[in-house]
Amino acid sequence: LYVEMLEEAIREIRGQEIPQVEDTQVDLNLTAFIPADYIPDLDQKMSAYRAVASATTKQELSQIAADWSDRYGPTPVAALQLIRVVELKQVARKLGFARIKPEGNQNIILETPMEEPAWNLLKANLPDHLHSRFVYAPGKVIVRGLGVLNADQQLENLITWLGKMQGALPEIATV
């Protein structure tokens, strides 16, 4: 009996690891790109896309947006959406979510290889009123009711809610 209890405890501890995912795919119905009339020069536009793709923190993305505004004028909504989508991807990847996509008209699915004990650690950082919105199932977390909002609201809510979950992650030393 003791050995069985020990093995169960070990399995549970192992299940608390946040999985590593290479990238996060975001399939929300958003318009996220750099318009041709905002950065007309193709080389500059490609450089701008590379800068966004290589950013690893929210601060870097904020700096990119500020640089664009200084250099090219007020940033169009589509370009701001691009930056916000990349911000969502950064947070979701750190939390172990591989894909974010709508399911029907009601829900948003967060695909993940994580196990339920790891999910419970993340969920503990959400405000209590959101707990019933997030439903764990093997291979995914369902965000109930989020699909009824427009894509901009979906994006903002996901960034906010996943940001709260980051509190469950161990702090990573920065140099």
Average pLDDT over all residues of the chain: 89
**pLDDT tens figures, 90-137:** 999 999 999 999 998 899 999 999 988 889 889 999 999 999 999 999
Q: Report helix, strand or coil for 143.
A: strand
Q: What is the pLDDT of residue 15?
A: 54
Q: What is the pLDDT of residue 18?
A: 79
Q: What is the pLDDT of residue 6?
A: 67
Which is higher by pLDDT, 148 or 12? 148
- pLDDT exceeds 50 at position 173: no
**pLDDT tens figures, 19-59:** 888 999 999 999 999 999 999 999 999 999 999 999 999 99
Q: What is the pLDDT of residue 1?
A: 74
- Least trusted range by pLDDT, from 2-16, 64-78, 149-163: 2-16
21/140 Cα distance (integer angstroms): 14
The torsion angles phi and psi of 81, rounded to 5 degrees, stand at -60, -40
34/119 Cα distance (integer angstroms): 35
